[in-house]
C-alpha cells in the first residue's frame, strides 16, 4: 500500500512524535521514508537596514534544514530505509513538488493546531499541503509544551 513516505520537517519540537508515526508505517509496509526539509528562500529581512543579506539568510536556512533532516532521521527506527533531501524554495510548494517527483504515497507531517491570530500571522504549511496534495496527508498533532 505504501512504498514511499514523505516526512517534511522544519526541525521544530515534535519531530520525534511525527517520526514515531511515520516510522511505524514504514516498518509495517517495508517502506522508504523520504526526510525533507526546505530552505525557505523568502528572505524576511530584506532591506537596507534589516541586517541580513540574502546569502546570509539562505546559509542559515540551509544549516537549519540539514539539522532538521538529521534530527528527523535520528528519531526514526534503525531498520527503516531513509532518503535525505534538502530543497530550496517556498516550503509548501517544495513539499508538494517533491511528493509528486518522488512518487510519494503519503505525506506525514506535524501540525501545531494554531488558531486565531497565530494562524493568520504565521500561516500553516500543513494546511496548505493538506488542501493541495494529490496524495493522502496524515497530520500528527504536536502538543504544546
Confidence at residue 1, expressed as pLDDT on a 0 to 100 scale: 85
* 3-state secondary structure at position 99: helix
Nearest CA to 18 among 124, 144, 139?
A: 139
Place of cell 491570530: 117
Nearest CA to 33 among 111, 112, 102?
A: 102
Residue 101: its H or E element:
helix 91-102
Backbone angles phi, psi at 40, to 5 degrees: -75, 110
Residue 34: its H or E element:
strand 32-40
Number of independent structural domains in the chain: 1
To 10 degrees, the CA torsion angle through 83, 89, 95, 101?
A: -70
Structural domain including 84 reads: 4-141
Per-residue pLDDT of the chain (145 residues; tens, 9 = 90+): 899 999 999 888 889 999 999 999 999 999 999 999 999 887 555 554 455 566 777 888 899 999 999 999 999 999 999 999 999 999 999 999 999 999 999 999 988 655 554 444 445 888 899 999 999 999 998 877 6
Instruction: State the pTM of this model.
Output: 0.86
Confidence at residue 51, expressed as pLDDT on a 0 to 100 scale: 53
- CATH code for the domain of 11: 3.40.50.620
Confidence at residue 61, expressed as pLDDT on a 0 to 100 scale: 87
Amino acid at each position: 500500500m505504501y512504498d514511499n513516505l514523505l516526512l517534511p520537517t522544519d526541525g521544530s519540537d515534535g519531530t520525534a512524535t511525527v517520526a514515531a508515526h511515520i516510522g511505524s508505517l514504514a516498518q509495517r509496509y517495508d517502506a522508504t521514508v523520504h526526510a525533507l526539509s526546505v530552505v525557505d528562500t523568502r528572505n524576511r529581512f530584506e532591506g537596507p537596514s534589516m541586517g541580513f543579506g540574502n546569502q546570509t539568510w539562505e546559509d542559515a536556512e540551509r544549516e537549519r534544514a540539514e539539522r532538521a533532516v538529521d534530527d528527523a532521521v535520528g528519531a526514526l527506527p534503525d531498520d527503516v530505509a531513509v532518503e535525505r533531501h534538502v530543497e530550496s524554495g517556498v516550503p509548501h510548494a517544495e513539499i508538494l513538488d517533491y511528493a509528486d517527483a518522488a512518487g510519494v504515497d503519503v505525506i506525514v507531517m506535524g501540525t501545531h493546531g494554531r488558531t486565531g491570530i497565530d494562524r493568520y500571522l504565521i500561516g500553516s504549511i500543513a494546511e496548505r499541503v493538506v488542501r493541495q496534495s494529490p496524495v493522502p496527508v496524515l497530520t500528527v498533532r504536536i502538543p504544546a509544551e
